[in-house]
Chains A and B, each alone.
Chain A
Amino acid sequence: MDWDLLSVSFVAVFLSELGDKSQIAAIALGGSSKSPQAVFFGTAGALLLASLVGVLLGQGVAQVLPTQLLKGIAAIGFATIGLRLLWPKEA
């Protein structure tokens, strides 16, 4: 067990994620959703998979995956959820 490397990667990732897009999204979705547990599992699962992909694919991520397209889809997804929350509800 390489405790130095483990703690360095924990601290580095923790600090870089604090207040980042995904955490803001987790706050927004967790606060407004009917199922905060689902938001937690969805967020944590997605972040774990993203970092696993980063670890496994190494420097090839950008070449292997259409990251630009995926970010575009994510932008549409967040905008859709955001608009649905801002849209006035019918009584």
Chain B
Amino acid sequence: MIAALVDFKLTLFRSPSMSAPEPSIVPSETPNTTAKTPGKSTFVSVFTSTFFTILFAEMGDKTQLTTLLMTAESQKPLMVFLGAGSALVTTSLLGVLLGRWLASRVSEAAIETAAGIALMVIAVLLIGDMLDMT
């Protein structure tokens, strides 16, 4: 997990100009590789948009309040963070795997429509949370 994050950081800081000269050396191979696997830029943009939308959505949310209250009560922040953190990694993994499984069973158009509607509903829920705070 940590190794993967470090590896990701390295890809984040690699500037596009560093990898740019490579295609000119082997021009025939580049279209194939880009078509097969999503490029580094896809990974970085998907990661960044996912990271910030989820982070902002979770600020002041009930999980954060749960960890906060448990820390205040136990005075053991490390234990609470380890417990909460492993639970959050598990639920994210289950979510993404469920999404992949659903995507493998229905058409691409159907999954995109369903995902679009789900995200719009989440946006509305977040606006509801905002209004509750006032």
| A interface residue numbers (CB < 8 A to B) | 1-2, 5-14, 16-18, 20-59, 61-62, 65, 67-68, 70-79, 81-86
Please report which residues of chain B, range 75-89, place their CB below 8 angstroms from some CB of chain A when the two chains form the complex.
Answer: 76-77, 79-89
| B interface residue numbers (CB < 8 A to A) | 4-5, 8, 38, 42-44, 46-68, 70-72, 74, 76-77, 79-100, 102-103, 111-127, 129-130, 133-134
Assuming the contacts A5-B80, A61-B64, A65-B59, asked whether A72 and B122 have C-beta atoms less than 8 A apart, the reply is: no
Assuming the contacts A41-B4, A47-B63, A78-B119, asked whether A9 and B80 have C-beta atoms less than 8 A apart, the reply is: yes
Tell me the bound Cα distance from A78 to B117 in angstroms.
Answer: 10
Residues of A within 8 A of B123 (CB): 75-76, 78-79, 82
Q: Do A47 and B99 have beta carbons less than 8 Å apart?
A: no
Q: Do B81 and A43 have beta carbons less than 8 Å apart?
A: no
Tell me the bound Cα distance from A55 to B48 in angstroms.
Answer: 23
Known: A32-B116, A68-B60, A75-B130. 19 other contacts (CB 8 A): A9-B79, A13-B63, A13-B67, A13-B83, A14-B87, A17-B87, A23-B94, A24-B118, A26-B96, A26-B99, A30-B98, A35-B47, A39-B46, A42-B50, A50-B54, A71-B126, A74-B57, A75-B122, A78-B122
Main SS at interface, chain B: helix
Q: Do B83 and A9 have beta carbons less than 8 Å apart?
A: yes
CB proximity of B34 to chain A, nearest CB, Å: 12
CB proximity of B100 to chain A, nearest CB, Å: 6
Residues of B within 8 A of A27 (CB): 95-96, 98-99, 102, 118
Q: Do A22 and B54 have beta carbons less than 8 Å apart?
A: yes
Residues of A within 8 A of B55 (CB): 46, 49-50, 70, 74
